[in-house]
Homo-oligomer: A and B are copies of this chain.
């Protein structure tokens, strides 16, 4: 483990830049989820609801700003940095990266903002631990390669940080997901995975329609990550993307680390953008839960084809045998009888689509067709354009904050997910998407690997809430607060 991580670290200067660079074209970030974890009387877990035990947010220091540290200021962390600097209620007091180029970019952004220059930590892959040792941090944001998320979260919790916001993918192995849940409970701290798609405007309108009963009782949900990432998984060692067929040490950015997952793993490697919004609609961990999972993978062709086409059949990478099936489909059974279908499709040419389908006893939304059908309102057997419905059921958060979100990444949804994290800190309350959501959504990756390996056999889904899902209420984005 140590060796692997050390080797990995050698390439971090570009890698940490890469995680952001590549993510600029992918979406990443966070939802906001289950606020009040009331729980059963005397139950274990996070004893939160209206703030951490013994905490009352910043209430005792009215007017003071939230003090944030940011670990990883590559292109994705840089985006969080820029949004944080736009806020009068946030002071970025520390940043950390191992890449000088990205640190220079961050300094430039900071100077332009007119805000005070934060403490800067660098020089070692573990410099972030010095950042975590600062005594005045209200929270940290982690925007580094997937492998680094859970070690950094665990270190942050051990250091006493009470609010940790991490980019999507909580951990690689199932055990890492449990470790983070255990540590959050032990330290009574909040871990929010910054799943931004829960805040996509049409997704929130659909959530609004679900809650107002337009679709009836939910039956079946679909989503996924259908995004041609070939130009992200390979490059020639320099930006921009879409050029070159290198990955690993010779590559720049995400290709430096992310592609290696396609070499070695077969499963849904990136489930959270699809499942997060659906989980909120279906009250997962809040009166409902995933019971089991089955995954199915096609053969793998796309990445090899791309290398041959762009690098020739004699390029050394043409000999690499990728394990990741080109299209991986995952099924989830829910305790309340719904089914959820996710698709991971990143290796071949295709238009971008998260492929949402939200269907109940009274109608459905089909994302790919921008169509909605509501029984009794839509003409029989005819689709309505979704736009009219979504304008009518625009979520109160978007009605209130669309101007604030203007210019923020991924159509504005990045603003909302950071806002949710910051507002939770200010009030000393649970983040709207919490550690149980993070673990549940992200654990789909290792579970799907097990199922694919077993020819699609059903795998039991762990209950990270340890039974609290029966008591927890869904208060994600109930109003126009945050």
Contact = CB atoms under 8 A, between A and B. Distances in A.
Contacts of A381: 228, 351-352
A134 B285 CA distance: 66
A220 B298 CA distance: 7
A326 B219 contact: yes
A271 to B, nearest CB: 17
> In the complex, which of the residues A217, A219, A368 has the most CB atoms of chain B within 10 Å of its own CB atom?
A219
A337 interface: yes
A296 B327 contact: no
A333 B219 contact: no
Interface bracket on A? 35 or more
Contacts of A326: 219-220, 361
A298 B368 contact: no
Contact of A219 (B327, B351, B364, B371): B327
Interface in A364-391: 364, 366, 368-371, 373, 375, 381-383
Interface stretch (A159-167, A170-178, A454-462): A454-462
Contacts of A370: 369
Given A381-B352, A455-B458, A457-B457, A337 B292 contact: no
B364 A341 contact: no
Given A301-B219, A349-B373, A456 B331 contact: yes
Contacts of A455: 292, 333, 458
A16 B427 CA distance: 69
Interface in A258-298: 292, 294, 296-298
A349 B369 contact: no
A302 interface: yes
A466 interface: no
A339 interface: yes
Nearest to A343: B220
Given A305-B361, A350-B359, A361-B326, A333 B296 contact: yes
Nearest to A326: B219
A361 B341 contact: no
A425 B99 CA distance: 75
A373 B351 contact: yes
B337 A298 contact: yes
A375 B306 CA distance: 12
Nearest to A228: B381
A105 to B, nearest CB: 27
A170 to B, nearest CB: 25
A364 B351 CA distance: 9
A363 interface: yes
Given A228-B381, A368-B368, A329 B339 contact: yes
A362 interface: yes
Contacts of A302: 361
Given A329-B331, A368-B369, A351 B296 contact: no
Contacts of A369: 366, 368-370
Nearest to A297: B339
Given A301-B219, A351-B382, A458-B456, A296 B364 contact: no
A348 interface: yes
Contacts of A298: 219-220, 337-339
A361 to B, nearest CB: 5
B329 A349 contact: no
Nearest to A460: B455
A336 interface: yes
A342 to B, nearest CB: 12
A204 B363 CA distance: 30
A333 B375 contact: no
Interface string A312-329: 000000000000001101
Contacts of A338: 298-299
Contacts of A345: 220, 359
Contacts of A292: 455-456
Given A364-B350, A366-B368, A381-B228, A299 B336 contact: yes
9 contacts: A219-B299, A219-B348, A220-B329, A220-B345, A294-B456, A299-B338, A305-B361, A349-B361, A350-B359
5 interchain residue pairs of minimum CB distance: A299-B337, A349-B375, A369-B369, A220-B327, A219-B298
